[in-house]
């Protein structure tokens, strides 16, 4: 089968064998923003022509390609959900000679009843779900929009999003803090730890953010350390809020190593153990959905 993780600004394609092993892997910048209206079938051909010609009969596509702005809209599915339910809710789209199905995003409610959404991350969650014990576990997928996910017995129960990565990007580029930091500086673990510590102090995040400016004015914050400090400050607030909402340790971190290392350090600072999932979780999740589609004998299109 073929699995696609088709996001806003990037496209990742996997050819998977019958055991889920990755036979081949491709990446392009043809995110959905760069695809012309009606251009999705052509784009799929572009990236997977030889795989399709070799006879692959199922393409599973996750991510923003299933959104209103994508190929077609696969409506958000309400949690809790299992992989079988996600597979049943995949949306078939017309394509010659091959079944192509779009994975729905997920929706949930937070503890205050506010709506929550994800689209794309659900495949990464499904990719690690099989390895987890039956009892409740907590997953954290750090990123622009970090997800904290409760799972139990093969089901995604609910989740909570924190806009941490995107807030970091906006503050470090578009506020007065930009003058205090080098955005391309190497990660500085000591400064990151100082930011984490600061997050645990008083005054609130909006006050602590200005403190970075003040430190810098008094030459108490080297430009090469300031971005790591800001990262620690924001991740510290995110992790503190997630822990207050409740987690089932150890927290399972899924994502790019540069981020999972930081979140692991932040959790450790709160005394919470974590485990990092280093495999290609998205490909595994796409495979799980493909297996579930076949198991349900869904043969549309």
Give φ, ψ of 113 to 5 degrees: 85, 10
Q: What 3-state DSSP class applies to 107?
A: strand
Least Å distance, CB 145 to a second copy, is 6
Alpha-carbon distance of 223 to 175, in angstroms, equals: 15
Residue 274 interacting with a second copy (CB under 8 A): no
Q: What 3-state DSSP class applies to 169?
A: helix
Residue 202 interacting with a second copy (CB under 8 A): yes
Least Å distance, CB 261 to a second copy, is 19
Alpha-carbon distance of 90 to 259, in angstroms, equals: 30
Q: In this structure, is the dihedral angle defined by the CA atoms of residues 79, 83, 85 and 90, taken in order, positive or negative?
A: positive
Q: Kindly give, in sequence order, each residue whose CB lies less than 8 Å from that of residue 210, ignoring residues fewer than 6 positions away.
A: none
Residue 161 interacting with a second copy (CB under 8 A): yes
Least Å distance, CB 41 to a second copy, is 26
Alpha-carbon distance of 73 to 71, in angstroms, equals: 7
Residue 75 interacting with a second copy (CB under 8 A): no
φ/ψ region of 97 (left if φ > 0, alpha if ψ in -120 to 50, else beta) reads left
Residue 278 interacting with a second copy (CB under 8 A): no
Q: Which of 55, 96, 244, 256: binder of a second copy (CB under 8 A)? A: 244
Residue 194 interacting with a second copy (CB under 8 A): no
Alpha-carbon distance of 110 to 118, in angstroms, equals: 13
Span 120-159, contacts to a second copy by CB under 8 A: 145
Strand-pair partners of 274: 251
Nearer to a second copy, 132 or 141 (CB): 141
Binding mask 165-184 for a second copy (x = CB under 8 A): -xx-xxx-xxxx--------
**Token pair in block for residue 241:** 């809020």
Residue 117 interacting with a second copy (CB under 8 A): yes
Nearer to a second copy, 217 or 301 (CB): 217
Residue 72 interacting with a second copy (CB under 8 A): no
Site residues (vs a second copy, CB under 8 A): 107, 110-112, 114-117, 145, 160-164, 166-167, 169-171, 173-176, 198, 201-211, 213-215, 217-218, 220, 234, 237-238, 240-242, 244-245
């Amino acid at each position: 089968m073929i699995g696609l993780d088709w996001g806003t600004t990037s496209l990742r394609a996997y050819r998977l064998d019958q055991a889920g092993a990755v036979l081949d892997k491709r990446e392009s910048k043809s995110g959905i923003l760069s695809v012309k209206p009606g251009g999705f079938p052509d784009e799929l051909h572009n990236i997977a022509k030889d795989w399709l010609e070799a006879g692959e009969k199922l393409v599973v596509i996750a991510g923003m390609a299933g959104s209103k702005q994508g190929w077609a809209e696969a409506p958000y599915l309400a949690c809790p959900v299992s992989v079988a339910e996600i597979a049943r809710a995949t949306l078939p789209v017309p394509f010659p000679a091959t079944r192509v199905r779009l994975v729905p995003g997920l929706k949930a409610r937070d503890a205050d009843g506010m709506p929550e959404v994800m689209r794309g991350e659900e495949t990464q969650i499904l990719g690690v779900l099989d390895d987890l014990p039956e009892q409740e576990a907590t997953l954290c997928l750090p990123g622009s929009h970090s997800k904290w996910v409760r799972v139990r017995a093969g089901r995604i129960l609910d989740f909570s999003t924190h806009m941490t990565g995107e807030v970091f990007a906006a503050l470090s580029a578009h506020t007065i803090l930009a003058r205090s930091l080098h955005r391309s500086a190497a990660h500085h673990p000591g400064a990151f730890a100082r930011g984490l510590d600061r997050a645990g102090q008083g005054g609130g995040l909006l006050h602590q953010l200005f403190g970075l400016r003040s430190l810098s004015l008094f030459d108490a914050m080297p430009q090469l350390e300031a971005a790591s400090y800001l990262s620690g400050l924001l991740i510290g607030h995110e992790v503190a809020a997630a822990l207050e909402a409740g987690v089932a340790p150890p927290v399972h971190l899924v994502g790019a190593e540069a981020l999972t290392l930081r979140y692991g350090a932040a959790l450790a600072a709160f005394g919470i153990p974590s485990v990092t999932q280093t495999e290609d979780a998205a490909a595994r999740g796409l495979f799980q959905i493909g297996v579930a589609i076949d198991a349900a004998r869904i043969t549309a299109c």
